[in-house]
């Protein structure tokens, strides 16, 4: 009996020492973020997948120190045929949910770029949650022609009257 208790005690002691990287997929996956090379204002698009078991609340985006511009999460909405966008101060991502940043919906709004977005460059940006956890991601800067080439496959019929 005492022996079993002792055994149980050791099991409890060892549990927190198990390697934390046992579940490598248990993370917030941020991928394919890109923005057009522009002089002043640009929008960033990509995908965020919450592969953790908890809800993640993204509250801001941090840019590298050398970059003086402003980055914020926006969402475009269409009301009576008029598109408008608002700043998102709290982006809730439920476990196993995907949020796609794409034209007409969520985007990272970059302002005051001051010519610092050059095509071919990449920057490390960070998504920051309400608990101050930092999730780094790569933002690739593409030329307008690269972006337009990617748009060719999109359906533009909805834009015609």
49 or 85: CB nearest Cu ion: 85
Q: Which residues pair with 157 in a beta bridge?
A: none
Q: Is 38 in the site for Cu ion (CB under 5 A)?
A: no
On whether the CB atoms of residues 92 and 55 are closer than 8 A, the answer is: yes
| Cα atoms in the 13 Å half-sphere on the side-chain side of 6 | 3
Q: Does 85 bind Cu ion (CB under 5 A)?
A: yes
Is 133 in contact with 27 (CB distance < 8 Å)?
A: no
Q: Is 75 in the site for Cu ion (CB under 5 A)?
A: no
The residue count for binding Cu ion (CB under 5 A) is 3
- Told to check if 74 binds Cu ion by CB under 5 A, we report yes
88 is an interface residue for Cu ion by CB under 5 A:
no
99 within 8 A of 107, measured Cβ to Cβ:
no
109: contact with Cu ion by CB under 5 A: yes
- Chain positions contacting Cu ion, by CB under 5 A: 74, 85, 109
């Amino acid at each position: 009996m005492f022996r079993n208790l002792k055994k149980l005690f050791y099991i409890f002691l060892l549990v927190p020492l198990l390697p934390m990287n046992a579940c490598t997929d248990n993370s917030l996956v941020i991928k394919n973020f890109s923005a057009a090379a522009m002089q002043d204002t640009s929008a960033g698009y990509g995908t965020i997948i919450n592969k953790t078991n908890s809800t993640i609340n993204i509250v801001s985006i941090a840019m590298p120190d050398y970059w003086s511009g402003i980055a914020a999460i926006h969402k475009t909405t269409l009301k009576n045929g008029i598109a408008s966008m608002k700043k998102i101060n709290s982006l809730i991502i439920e476990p196993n949910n995907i949020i796609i940043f794409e034209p007409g919906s969520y985007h990272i709004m970059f302002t005051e770029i001051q010519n610092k977005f050059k095509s071919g460059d990449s920057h490390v940006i960070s998504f920051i949650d309400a608990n101050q956890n930092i999730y780094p991601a790569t933002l690739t800067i593409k030329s307008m022609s690269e972006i337009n080439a990617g748009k060719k496959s999109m359906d533009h019929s909805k834009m015609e009257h």
